[in-house]
Amino acid sequence: MFSSVCSAAILGMEAVPVQVEADVSDGLPMFSMVGYVNSQVKETQDRVRTAFHNKKMGLPAKRITVNLAPGDVRKEGTGYDLPVALAILTALGRIPKRHLEGVMVVGELGLDGKIKGVWGVLPIVHKARGAGCHTCIVPKDNEAEGQLIEGIRVVGVDDLQRVVDLLAKGCLAQEGGRQSRLSFEHLETDLGGPDLSDIRGQEGAVRATLIAAAGMHDLLYIGSPGSGKSMLAQRIPGILPPLTREECLEITEIYSIAGLLTKEQPVISRRPFRSPHHTISPQALAGGGRTPRPGEITLAHRGVLFMDEFPEFSRRSLEILRQPLEERYIHISRVQGIYTFPADCMLVAAMNPCACGYYPDLDRCRCTPAQVRRYLSKISGPLLDRLDLCVETREPTYEQITGGSSPVSSAQIRERVMEVQKIQQERYAGKGIRSNSQLDGKDLEEYCPMTREARRWMERIYTGQRLSPRSYHRILKVSRTIADLEGEELITDVHIREAFGYRIVEQKYL
């Protein structure tokens, strides 16, 4: 007898419905699985058979064929165990077919018949709703995650026997009827995390950080070891506006696919802060694999991608960042097609001024001029052009550490960032631009009006300092954000001059 159960495969950021078909017929006893399955999925048959055995639901000595359709989508992962088991039981007539109509099933089986968590439940449930299913059966561990999607019943189960009982009796509806613990409505965004008030001194760097966050500009910190580069960067997610519910869902979906959600933390409600080590491979950074999985740049979506020791990253890793930072998406091409992952993050980089870290303090720096130049030349080039602001961090003095100055809190700074981002949203409404950092070419002319004095200064700086057109645009964008921070419509000469101080310096040597 033939049966079919609905499940799903994850391709890139999308779930694709997969029909798990089972046929039990007379013939030599055997169990075969077809339908472009990889070896992970082939193992399903052993788990299913043993689980049946241990649950005293022995399989009859018949010919069992399982097919995963469509046959041109490669199936990976362990989430097909439960749908295969249910398809076989339905084919054997132990579960009425109609009880599985409109039900999407996903889950991994243990040998004892327990159901274990899998990755990608959130996008699968999302897809199920889109595909018109009324119920999703997911592992208990992933229940909270699945219940974020409204308008569909999500039933968390932890035991094969129990699922079979529920389905045989057709009482799934009562099981999933109760309200989810984590309803979307009541999703609270988390503003915790390290606070800016821990920072002592660094007024200049904090100011640059505020500007960068307000205009979503990419930022580079330069400073000697231990001068607080990482400390500042870690506090950036905390000064960005709280996540909206849509953003939460979006990020949680990414983390679900990456398999980074846990039972304790089924929702990502804080802006991500990703800090990959500099030995990371280009694939791990951008996303990769035969069926691509999200990389660090996607995991930092709507948050901060912090790259410490920037010049130590391999050139290929750095180069791979260029396109996604520009487009806010990353496209990964494979034989089966092109996968697109979101990558809208703020890039924050940090580096020492030279290999030993103390240049230009010549009493401490032990590098030769050639070494300094070699160190910096590693990042010179097109990627540097992406970074709008660059600022020096400086270890605080003893007086500053022991408290003296009144530190500002993340909450205060966040208020200002939100004000400025609101100004930008209103200004760019309907233009497909979200922040000043995305301005280019024509838009710059339109949205960056300058006073006459500012124009004069811009000209003096441009010709006097031999700026490239690109650095001119960068200075203009940053000036726009500074003007927004000061609440001014026109960019004045003071804003231009301050922005010039944040440009990337092609360091000069002795």
Partner 1 sequence: MEEILQRISESQQGYPRRLRSLPDMPACLYVRGRLPKEEQLTIGMVGARSCSGYGRHVAWEYARVFSDHGVQVISGMALGIDGESHRGALQGPTPTFAVLGCGADVCYPKSNRDLYEKIPLNGGLISEYPPGAPPAGWHFPARNRIISGLSDALLVIEAKKKSGSLITVDCALEQGKTVFAVPGRVTDTLSEGCNGLISQGAVIALSPEMVLNELGMDTYSTKGSGKKKQIGLARDLDLVYSCVDFQPTDHETLIQKSGFPPGKVLSILTELQIMGLVEEIGKNHYIRS
Residues in contact with partner 1 by the rule CB under 8 A: 201-208, 222, 353, 359-363, 365, 367-369, 390-392, 394, 397, 457, 460-461, 464-465, 482, 494-495, 497-498, 500-502, 505, 507-510
Question: How far, CA to CA in Å, does 280 sit from each of 271, 287, 313, 349, 454?
Answer: 22, 11, 7, 15, 43
Q: Is the Cβ of residue 210 or residue 305 nearer to partner 1 in the bound state?
A: 210
* Distance in Å, CB of 394 to partner 1, minimum: 4
Angle (CA) 394-395-400 rounded to 5° is 110
Q: Is the Cβ of residue 34 or residue 505 nearer to partner 1 in the bound state?
A: 505
Return the structure tokens found at 12: 């890139």
* Distance in Å, CB of 507 to partner 1, minimum: 6
Q: Is the Cβ of residue 29 or residue 369 nearer to partner 1 in the bound state?
A: 369
Q: Is the Cβ of residue 275 or residue 507 nearer to partner 1 in the bound state?
A: 507
The Cα 441–Cα 419 span in angstroms is: 25
* Distance in Å, CB of 493 to partner 1, minimum: 8
* Distance in Å, CB of 450 to partner 1, minimum: 15
Instruction: Tell whether the torsion through CA atoms of 89, 95, 100 and 105 is positive or negative.
Output: negative
Place of tokens 């055997």: 30
Q: Is the Cβ of residue 264 or residue 363 nearer to partner 1 in the bound state?
A: 363
The Cα 216–Cα 421 span in angstroms is: 9
3-state secondary structure 453-471: HHHHHHHHHHHHCCCCHHH
Q: Is the Cβ of residue 432 or residue 464 nearer to partner 1 in the bound state?
A: 464
* Distance in Å, CB of 500 to partner 1, minimum: 5
* 397 CB burial (10 A radius; 0-12, 13-18, 19+): exposed
3-state secondary structure of 106: coil
| DSSP-derived secondary structure letter, 437 | G
* Distance in Å, CB of 396 to partner 1, minimum: 8
The Cα 203–Cα 239 span in angstroms is: 16
Q: Is the Cβ of residue 125 or residue 367 nearer to partner 1 in the bound state?
A: 367
* Distance in Å, CB of 359 to partner 1, minimum: 6
* Distance in Å, CB of 499 to partner 1, minimum: 8
Phi, psi of 135 (to 5 degrees): -145, 145
- Identify whether the C-beta of residue 100 lies closer than 8 Å to the C-beta of residue 133: no
What residues does 305 pair with on adjacent strands? Answer: 274, 347
Half-sphere exposure at residue 4, Cβ-oriented, CA atoms within 13 angstroms? 11
The Cα 138–Cα 418 span in angstroms is: 38
Supply the Cα-derived Rg of the chain in whole angstroms: 28
Name the amino acid, one letter, at 208: A
Q: Which helix (H) or strand (E) element contains residue 18?
A: strand 14-25
* 260 CB burial (10 A radius; 0-12, 13-18, 19+): middle
* Distance in Å, CB of 487 to partner 1, minimum: 14
Q: Is the Cβ of residue 140 or residue 495 nearer to partner 1 in the bound state?
A: 495
* Distance in Å, CB of 413 to partner 1, minimum: 13
- Identify whether the C-beta of residue 434 lies closer than 8 Å to the C-beta of residue 428: yes
Q: Is the Cβ of residue 135 or residue 481 nearer to partner 1 in the bound state?
A: 481
Q: Is the Cβ of residue 225 or residue 360 nearer to partner 1 in the bound state?
A: 360
Half-sphere exposure at residue 266, Cβ-oriented, CA atoms within 13 angstroms? 22
Return the structure tokens found at 65: 């064929």
Prior bond to 70 cis, omega within 30?
Answer: yes
Q: Is the Cβ of residue 88 or residue 350 nearer to partner 1 in the bound state?
A: 350
Q: Is the Cβ of residue 218 or residue 247 nearer to partner 1 in the bound state?
A: 218
Q: How many residues are present in the chain?
A: 510
| DSSP-derived secondary structure letter, 378 | T
